[in-house]
Structure 1
């Protein structure tokens, strides 16, 4: 075990981890952006120059040492009036923006002001740079991932449950999934710690073999997600219920038939419910649990025009409004260019009222007003999920989301 781990970033954006004699190079992540060459060149120029001094928060510190528990969104708000302009302040190019390995506890950030613009750096102004950045972080064993030390975008507890819970499927996917058929002691409702029996179909049997799923998520009722503007069905959202672990796979047993022979009888798979967000019952479906992956992203404004609508309030079947730190689905997804980390401005719908000052009581529509900010954290083809931040009033289905201002 070494006394420290050194992380070096080359000018090309790759990370090199040096831990004793172990040397591993991780290529920087890149994504395709649905923007023109002209837009890309403009964004690159702005990010290299920084942001106008007028965009800085009044109390933006000249230096700041990153601490454990900090988030990228929190630091963005510390330095900027509009936190989504963080990539420009940081001076990141478009390929580096989605890379989570940018800021670590222990780093010192330096605010540079020059020619009416500001930028952040991890080296003091005037320091010679060889194109390689070295960052000291806390002692780690070699088995730890570098992602474990990188600064998260938001407080993890706000979005971690939603990274696996929402599931958008097509109309038939859930119906083809293995289903719970019974439980021990003929219970109607099941909870965490209960044992249940599961049956697959010919195309998707539940087997306990190498390479087959062992951990599952339990879902119910794929509800259609309709575009509030066009009425078109964008996908089907399955209700997340809990987790299950496979104990035994499906099988066939030879049992006496009472006539001196044997008959082969089907035996369903056995699972233990390891957690239950809601009560589980026969008929609920199982889908393989995804591998846990490190998810981080830089808050940033989309590079294309966005005009989205709220489709639904996640996990709230009765509430008409969503508030701070709740999750909503919107009617744009990855095929529309929406990506994790995109920040959008929420607008009120603008109520229609009767003008009581008018003798004819004419109906007028009030203007839409800015109602807060939302950050996309998970995308599907035609819908995305966003966390509501800095909300002034209730958010409801049909509210608009546009490019941040």
Structure 2
């Protein structure tokens, strides 16, 4: 991580934490539009934001080796940057000092900008500086703190809140259906030239209703997601196969004698995750969601278990996706941060006068970030894990 040395005498009057919020909040909070389906900032979040904007974070919450400054680089995220400064990176809104009046401010953080850690009266806040000279006193860079943020666009893209590239593929691929949704969806019935398997560029023929879209995702084998404790079916996860586009609608042809003939629709296979088969189902491609994810803890107690590791693996680690047995019906939201726990082993205590079985305590060993929520199940990214993650492992509020 890039940083430069700084001495406090070389800095003029510091920018207030409420002004810093103007630059960070567009990356942290959804805008006023509800088109994405993301809930608006709650009154409690606003109250916390207003309080933090005045206070910053306690020095005890800073990482032991927190730098004095950091220069934003391409590929940085707010989570990663906050991990340099905080023990718990997901608490970055407190470090950046959110302010309720500036939640919809359009300013963004871009590579090339310099972030300065300011400590005062036992609290710390992250503020933004602008370089105005190549060298200052004693050879140190000279920086100017102004009355407002003036973002210099060094790179065309502002930094994201979390590693967006890790979850984007799953927004279309990791999908939970109700029992009947996929069973009633259009299906591929045959391939061009009698082929058994289809790949990119091949033509496929399908039956069903294609009036709602022209671009489709291809799924196979809807598998029930069961609660690890109760065995209850929470939803059906379908295996993602690829994508296809509609080339020609199907039709009903009139034949002699008043009979009709069904002509299937024709689709072109656009991309494949694995080869496409007859019987695979088609579901419209969803509109891409550009939601900025805001990390926050659940408002109340949250307990649950991991249903499965996405894909064929039996265990998972950092940057992999897992399904959870809690969803919107349980109060889980996109952006929720959860603590991951490993169950303690049961051992035989041979040190006792009369040896007996002993349950060791559970140990916290990771962090989950919820990015997709359905009614009774959700998907989360493992952002940190010190041990293999398995179905049945439990999670709580952080």
Q: Could you state the TM-score of these two structures normalised by the residue count of structure 1?
A: 0.79
1:229 aligns with 2:229: yes
Q: Which residue among 278, 283, 288 is the counterpart of 2:284?
A: 288
1:216 aligns with 2:216: yes
Kept in 1: contact 2:20–2:96 (CA 8 A) = no
Corresponding residue number in structure 2 for 1:197: 205
Q: String of CA shifts for 1:349-387, please: whole Å, max 9, x gaps.
A: 222233344686533221100111111121112211111
Query: Compared with structure 1, are the counterparts of its residues 232 and 370 closer, same or farther at alpha carbon in structure 2 (3 Å cutoff)?
Result: same
Corresponding residue number in structure 2 for 1:23: none
Corresponding residue number in structure 2 for 1:298: 294
1:137 aligns with 2:153: yes
Q: Which runs of 5 or more structure 1 residues have no equivalent in the other structure?
A: 1-7, 16-25, 141-148
Q: What SS class does the counterpart of residue 60 from structure 1 fall into?
A: coil
Kept in 1: contact 2:32–2:40 (CA 8 A) = no
Query: Compared with structure 1, are the counterparts of its residues 376 and 327 closer, same or farther at alpha carbon in structure 2 (3 Å cutoff)?
Result: same
Q: For residues 236-247 of structure 1, what are the structure 2 equivalents within 5 Å?
A: 236-247=236-247
More helix by share: 2
Of the structure 1 ranges 82-91 and 92-101, higher mean CA displacement relative to structure 2 is found in 92-101
Corresponding residue number in structure 2 for 1:143: none
Q: What SS class does the counterpart of residue 219 from structure 2 fall into?
A: strand
Q: What SS class does the counterpart of residue 58 from structure 1 fall into?
A: coil
Corresponding residue number in structure 2 for 1:368: 362
Q: Which residue among 56, 64, 67 is the counterpart of 1:58?
A: 64
Q: Which residue among 364, 374, 378 is the counterpart of 2:372?
A: 378
Shift of 1:80: 0.8
Corresponding residue number in structure 2 for 1:87: 93
Shift of 1:183: 0.7
Kept in 2: contact 1:198–1:269 (CA 8 A) = yes
Q: Which residue among 264, 267, 270 is the counterpart of 2:263?
A: 267
Corresponding residue number in structure 2 for 1:108: 114
Q: CA RMSD in A?
A: 3.2
Residues in 1 aligned to 2:66 and 2:253: alpha-carbon distance in whole angstroms: 71
Shift of 1:396: 1.1
Of the structure 1 ranges 364-373 and 62-71, higher mean CA displacement relative to structure 2 is found in 62-71
1:347 aligns with 2:341: yes
Corresponding residue number in structure 1 for 2:305: 309
Kept in 2: contact 1:104–1:150 (CA 8 A) = yes
Residues in 2 aligned to 1:9 and 1:169: alpha-carbon distance in whole angstroms: 42
Shift of 1:239: 1.3
Residues in 2 aligned to 1:99 and 1:111: alpha-carbon distance in whole angstroms: 22
Kept in 2: contact 1:307–1:401 (CA 8 A) = yes
1:77 aligns with 2:86: no
Shift of 1:128: 5.5
Shift of 1:115: 0.7
Query: Compared with structure 1, are the counterparts of its residues 311 and 343 closer, same or farther at alpha carbon in structure 2 (3 Å cutoff)?
Result: same
Shift of 1:51: 0.8
Q: For residues 30-49 of structure 1, what are the structure 2 equivalents within 5 Å?
A: 31-32=39-40, 41=47, 44-49=50-55
Residues in 1 aligned to 2:206 and 2:167: alpha-carbon distance in whole angstroms: 30
Q: String of CA shifts for 1:187-243, please: whole Å, max 9, x gaps.
A: 22222222110100xxxx224xxxx41110001222221222233222111111111
Shift of 1:11: 6.6
Query: Compared with structure 1, are the counterparts of its residues 77 and 383 closer, same or farther at alpha carbon in structure 2 (3 Å cutoff)?
Result: same
1:185 aligns with 2:193: yes
Q: Which runs of 5 or more structure 2 residues have no equivalent in the other structure?
A: 1-18, 131-142
Shift of 1:119: 0.8
Residues in 2 aligned to 1:348 and 1:103: alpha-carbon distance in whole angstroms: 37
Kept in 2: contact 1:178–1:206 (CA 8 A) = yes
Kept in 1: contact 2:342–2:363 (CA 8 A) = yes
